[in-house]
Amino acid sequence: MGDLANRLGLDVTWHGPERKISVSCNETHIANLWSGSRIVYAGGNYHEIRSPVLFHNNRNFVPVDFFEGFLGLDIRADGGNVWIFYRNNSHTLEELSATIVAAGEFWNKWWASHHTFEWEHIDDSRRNWQPWDEGITPAHHPLSRGFAAILPSAGFIGLGDIGAHLSQFYTQDWINRGQFSEPEVIMQFIGNEYAAIFGFYGFEEYDGELFVFIQTEWAARPNWHTATHVLIEQDGGRAVVETIVSTYIQGYSGEMPAITYRFTFIDGKIESAGGRFE
């Protein structure tokens, strides 16, 4: 670890009592690792590399995916030579995982648990319209199908505003594949099995007004800030990240299943995703 890091201009500090390795560059902290552990602390979050740090002959040997995932390097072995390349069009695991968390928190914000939903952005007075009252709410109207009207205070007036916001996290191809109310599109982010069980839908525009599906207030939520991420593969601008995230229901103390996601990125943005319960 130390030899390679020094050649790259990095500073490595060994904290013996904690068996901790600190990596920095020009006094800017990059990451912490622990000898014998797969855990990496970087960017304010904990991540996992594929193999634990190996302590051998008083030296720490760190898996290559740490350098590739957190330092943006491409390391290749050719016989007795090891080649190190700086990637110009790739992203570190820290950057990719930050995108995953930010996108996940967006969906959690709009499908929040009971009593934490952002009611100030919802026209609550219209949620009491009854689907069977055809004179007020037609059966095909979003309000009769578990949706609520979004107020302008949310900052979104139409589906175009939602798409523009999501373009921070998703590729344009992902956005073009649906209008955020199609179940198959939403499933690509939250995982097919998870979406099917809880019936997630997204946003819908109706008669010039924007609505959000909210009949999932009691559904389980992914705890994105405690998720662990592993860079599975990266080739230029394409990367695959496996993320394991625990779930919870507000006010429920029982054990909830974790979800394993597989995110495919193109140039740092989510192109597709799927998940399964563990």
The domains of the chain are located at 2-78, 103-213, 221-277
- The reported pLDDT for the residue numbered 35 is 92
Q: Which CATH number fits domain 2-78: 3.30.70.1450, 3.40.50.620, 3.30.457.10, 3.40.50.720?
A: 3.30.457.10
pLDDT tops 80 at residue 21? yes
- What's the pLDDT band for 111 if we cut at 50, 70, 90? low
pLDDT tops 60 at residue 10? yes
pLDDT tops 50 at residue 187? no
Mean pLDDT of the chain: 76
- The reported pLDDT for the residue numbered 186 is 47
- The reported pLDDT for the residue numbered 134 is 52
pLDDT tops 60 at residue 200? no
Q: What is the DSSP string of 210-264?
A: EEEE-TTTTS-EE-GGG-EEEEEEEETTEEEEEEEE-EE-TT--S----EEEEEE
Cβ neighbours, 10 Å, residue 187: 18
Q: What are phi and psi of 59, to 5 degrees?
A: -135, 150
pTM: predicted TM-score of the whole model, two decimal places: 0.61
pLDDT tops 50 at residue 196? no
**H-run or E-run covering 21:** strand 20-25
21 neighbors 35 (Cβ within 8 angstroms) = yes
250 neighbors 116 (Cβ within 8 angstroms) = yes
- Identify the residue with better confidence: 65 or 232: 232
174 neighbors 187 (Cβ within 8 angstroms) = no
- Give the tens place of pLDDT for each residue, 248-266: 776 777 788 788 888 999 8
pLDDT tops 60 at residue 103? yes
Give the residue-averaged pLDDT of 61-67: 84
